Amino acid sequence: MADAEIIPIGTRGRPGRGTGQRPSAAARDLAPGRPAARRTPPRGSEEGPRAVPTPEPADPETGSGGPAPLSEADLLAAFREAAHEVLGDDAERQLARFLAFLRRRVTGDFTVDEYGFDEEVTRRFFLAALRPIAQRWFRVEVRGAENIPTEGGALVVSNHSGTLPVDGLMTMLSVHDHTGRFLRPLGADLMFRLPGVGVLARKAGATLACNEDAERMLADGELVGVWPEGFKGVGKPFSERYKLQRFGRGGFVSAALRTGVPIVPLSVVGAEEIYPMVGNLPTLARLLGLPYIPITPFFPLLGPLGMIPLPSKWLLEFGEPIRTDEYDHGAADDPMLVFDVTDQVRETIQQTLYSLLVQRPSVFG
């Protein structure tokens, strides 16, 4: 028996079509973007003419066919459902709080103090944005928070480091989370000259580092923060890490003596490693009016990625308050007394730094 001739499927019985050289008619009919071939029913077939779908009746309200547009109630229901998926069971309450906040900001129903401090914005947005960074990235551990007075004026004095003043932000968050009080930082004039930064700093409670403002805040019962090392501390090279720089002329001690408030020394370990400063560009810094332009192992080599801080382990320890209300009236005008108290605060912070470095298992541990 002779071999049967093999005819490819879909070739209508004619060899050479549908074999890969030319698509068959059936395949061409199924090609995307090509209208389907019109089929004529064979004679004698019971298949009648194809039914034509009737169009949807016009909407009585819109006068047009098709589905009606979403109403305001539908949009609100969809928004609530989406909020519930994102925020969980407490979605409606959080959404109501957020809408109430927006209404107060639009209508002007909020208050700021004479320095520009906006408590609601600071608590709901500024500190809320910093909290995940402190807890998950730097893993900030706070010790001695009980030494911070729960009421009345007090002056928190801290070491300064890290190339960028991130330590001040972490201190503000730590004080609020452990005491419920807002730390009012005293900042350098450069911070208030930077576009946008000065406005945010004012809203967060900062003011210019001058004796007049410091004394007024302390007399009004505020908790004030100061970093006496200034740019000498935050911009020192990595080789001098955790070595305190000069504390200036002791202006913060004079403010504390005049108002009779306690001085709370604070030692911060961990900020030195977030941006290890291995170099500087002093000429370019002078042209731009900046105290320094840092060079780190990753900046400017990696560009914007080099601005991501390293996840070092942070320890913050608040020391026992140093009382100033026991000194005689006019003690703030005694330069030797001011120098002695300043040196006492500085030495307390330095020795605590050495102790914390020994207790910290590793830089990133």
> How far, CA to CA in Å, does 155 sit from each of 140, 251, 255, 260?
21, 12, 9, 10
Q: Which of 9-13, 126-130, 168-172 has the lowest mean pLDDT?
A: 9-13
Res. 74: pLDDT tops 80 = no
- Nearest-angstrom CA–CA distance, 170 and 311: 13
Predicted pLDDT of residue 104: 74
**Strongest mean pLDDT among 77-81, 144-148, 199-203:** 144-148
In this prediction, what percent of the chain has a pLDDT beyond 70? Answer: 74
The residue among 324, 141, 129, 356 whose CA lies nearest residue 242 is 356
Give the β-pairing of 183-187 and 207-208. Answer: parallel
pLDDT digits (tens, 9 = 90+) for 225-255: 999 999 999 999 999 999 999 998 889 999 9
pLDDT in tens, 8-67: 554 454 544 445 555 555 545 555 555 555 555 555 545 555 555 555 555 555 455 555
How many other CB atoms are there within 10 angstroms of residue 360's CB atom?
17
**pLDDT for res 77:** 75
Domain residue ranges of the chain, discontinuous segments joined by +: 139-274+309-359
Q: Which pairing describes strands 223-226 and 315-318: parallel, antiparallel, or unpaired?
A: unpaired
- Of residues 126, 105, 289, 102, the one with CA closest to residue 202: 126
- The reported pLDDT for the residue numbered 26 is 53
Instruction: Quick: pLDDT tens for 352-362.
Output: 999 999 999 89
Q: Give the C-alpha separation, 218 to 201, whole Å.
A: 19
Compute the distance between CA of residue 94 and CA of residue 99 in angstroms, rounded to an integer: 9
| Nearest-10 crossing angle of helices 91-107, 72-87 | 110
Q: Does residue 322 surpass a pLDDT of 90? A: yes
CA distance 172 to 158: 12
Contact 317, 266 (CB under 8 A): yes
CB 7 within 8 A of CB 13: yes
pLDDT on residue 106: 72
- Cα(163)–Cα(304) distance, rounded to whole angstroms? 15
Radius of gyration of the chain (CA): 36
8 A C-beta contact, residue 187 and residue 115: no
Q: Do residues 184 and 171 touch, judged by C-beta distance below 8 A? A: no
Q: Crossing angle of helices 251-259/335-359, nearest 10°?
A: 110
